[in-house]
């Protein structure tokens, strides 16, 4: 039996937590409920006690001899907070522990799922956005609220996600296999910058999101993760050993020095292919007329890993706009890869800087597995499933 610890905060959507509880209990889960003080303004403990047939806890001081905030999270498989208010999210982000739910959350070594519900202005406030991204970087699963009718009789974002989406998120974290336990994964991600002078550089539009999602998923599956990350504002997951680099040469050196330990390496970085022959120590003054910049090739990080490969499973990406699979198979061979993920960057909404992508995996002579089109987070999940299958069939 799976044990779900359900935290309910004060918001009008609190009544939906009762329907969720009923659903979970009916399908055979054990549910323990913590109500915050705010939640009790909207819905009472009796409702949840009747649904779960378990005592409902509302205070740190209810049964102090059981140390409830510790015993509850130790016994549970997942902590789901539905609905989560802006205040609760802010407290989680900062580690504030001033009631039973926030103490339990701080003591939790189990996965946490948070389903926010609030007024649209509160949801869109930079403070809330920042707090949610802190939680995400820490590995908390956020179930995005939907757009719809809010309590203020307006339409806006902030409406608690549909029950199906919340259940899917809970099942997602519960069902996620620890199939990378004991393995070491090396991932390169993000762009590189090749300096022209102190204020100018050659680079590209990569945000590193795909590689960061692959790292996040690998961590959730139990891997030790080395993430070699180029310049990006996207926050990497906290559990990874992240090495920040700027240039292709730095990425090359950082990746190679960690490759010996790796069981699996994935090159998701969009490395700049060229760097200026000369980097000027002072800012270059503009001149009239045409100019030119002499460039040389940067090291190919992935090719260097391929040359030194000794048992590790090596995965690359290919960004293509034409003859996708033919070009990608050529890269697969040339760089001694075990699998390559092909990305059609000519399609709208695919590739750099977008939340979504569409990938096809290619391996061996004819191995081919389309992963479909999805968010980069979902694609990371599908990609790890597929990579582990491909590796075990080798």
Chain positions contacting ligand CTP, by CB under 6 A: 188, 248, 267, 269, 271, 273, 298, 300-302, 316-319, 331
43/34 Cα distance (integer angstroms): 12
Does the annotation mark 204 as catalytic?
yes
The DSSP code sequence of 102-130 is HHHHHH--S-EEEEE---HHHHHSHHHHH
Nearer to ligand CTP, 94 or 347 (CB): 347
The counts of H helices and E strands in the chain are 14, 19
CA distance 247 to 271: 8
Secondary-structure breakdown of the chain: helix, strand, coil percentages, each rounded to the nearest 5: 35, 25, 35
Q: How far is the CB of 369 from ligand CTP (least distance, A)?
A: 17
Question: Which residues are registered as beta bridge partners of 79?
Answer: 5, 112
Give whichever of 78 and 305 is closer to ligand CTP, judged by the CB atom. Answer: 305
Q: Which C-beta is closer to ligand CTP: that of 60 or that of 269?
A: 269
Q: Please state the closest distance from residue 302 (CB atom) to ligand CTP, in A.
A: 3
From the list 204, 327, 357, 385, the catalytic residue is: 204
Q: Which residue lies nearer to ligand CTP by CB, 123 or 317?
A: 317
CB of 246 to ligand CTP, least distance (A): 14
- SS3 call for 4: strand
Closest CA to 114 of 72, 85, 151, 77: 85
Of residues 48 and 317, the one with the C-beta less far from ligand CTP = 317
d(CA 374, CA 357): 6
Beta bridge partners of 359: 343, 372
Neighbours of 21 (CB within 10 A): 23
C-alpha to C-alpha distance for 150 and 83, rounded to whole angstroms: 14
Least distance from ligand CTP to the Cβ atom of residue 334, Å: 8
Q: How far is the CB of 268 from ligand CTP (least distance, A)?
A: 6
Is residue 30 helix, strand or coil?
strand
Residues identified as active-site:
204
């Amino acid at each position: 039996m799976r044990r779900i610890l359900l935290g309910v905060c004060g918001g009008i959507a609190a009544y939906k937590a009762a329907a969720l509880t009923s659903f979970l209990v009916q399908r055979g889960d054990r549910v323990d409920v913590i109500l915050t003080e705010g939640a009790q303004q909207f819905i009472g403990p009796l409702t949840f006690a009747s649904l779960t047939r378990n005592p409902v806890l509302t205070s740190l001081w209810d049964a102090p001899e059981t140390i409830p905030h510790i015993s509850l999270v130790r016994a549970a498989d997942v902590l789901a907070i539905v609905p989560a208010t802006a205040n609760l999210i802010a407290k989680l982000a900062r580690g504030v522990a001033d009631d039973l739910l926030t103490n339990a959350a701080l003591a939790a070594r189990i996965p946490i799922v948070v389903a926010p519900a609030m007024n649209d202005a509160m949801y869109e406030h930079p403070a809330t956005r920042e707090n949610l991204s802190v939680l995400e970087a820490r590995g908390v699963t956020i179930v995005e609220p939907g757009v719809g009718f809010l309590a203020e009789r307006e339409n806006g974002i902030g409406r608690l996600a549909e029950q199906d989406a919340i259940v899917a998120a809970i099942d997602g974290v519960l069902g996620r296999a620890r199939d990378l336990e004991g393995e070491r994964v090396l991932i390169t991600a993000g762009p590189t910058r090749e300096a022209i002078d102190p204020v100018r550089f050659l680079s590209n539009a990569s945000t590193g999101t795909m590689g960061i999602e692959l790292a996040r998923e690998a961590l959730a599956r139990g891997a030790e993760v080395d993430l070699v990350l180029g310049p990006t504002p996207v926050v990497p997951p906290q559990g990874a050993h992240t090495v920040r680099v700027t240039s292709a040469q730095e990425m090359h050196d950082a990746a190679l020095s960690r490759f010996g330990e790796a069981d699996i390496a994935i090159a998701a970085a969009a490395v700049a292919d060229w760097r200026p022959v000369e980097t000027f120590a002072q800012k270059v003054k503009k001149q009239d007329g045409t100019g030119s910049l002499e460039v040389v090739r940067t090291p190919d990080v992935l090719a260097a890993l391929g040359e030194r490969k000794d048992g590790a499973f090596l995965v690359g990406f290919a960004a293509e706009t034409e003859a996708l699979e033919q070009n990608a198979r050529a890269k697969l061979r040339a760089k001694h890869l075990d699998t390559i993920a092909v990305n059609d960057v000519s399609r709208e909404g695919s590739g750099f800087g977008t939340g979504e992508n569409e990938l096809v995996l290619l391996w061996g002579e004819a191995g081919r597995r389309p992963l479909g089109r999805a968010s980069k987070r979902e694609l990371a999940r599908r990609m790890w499933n597929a990579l582990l299958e491909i590796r075990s069939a080798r």
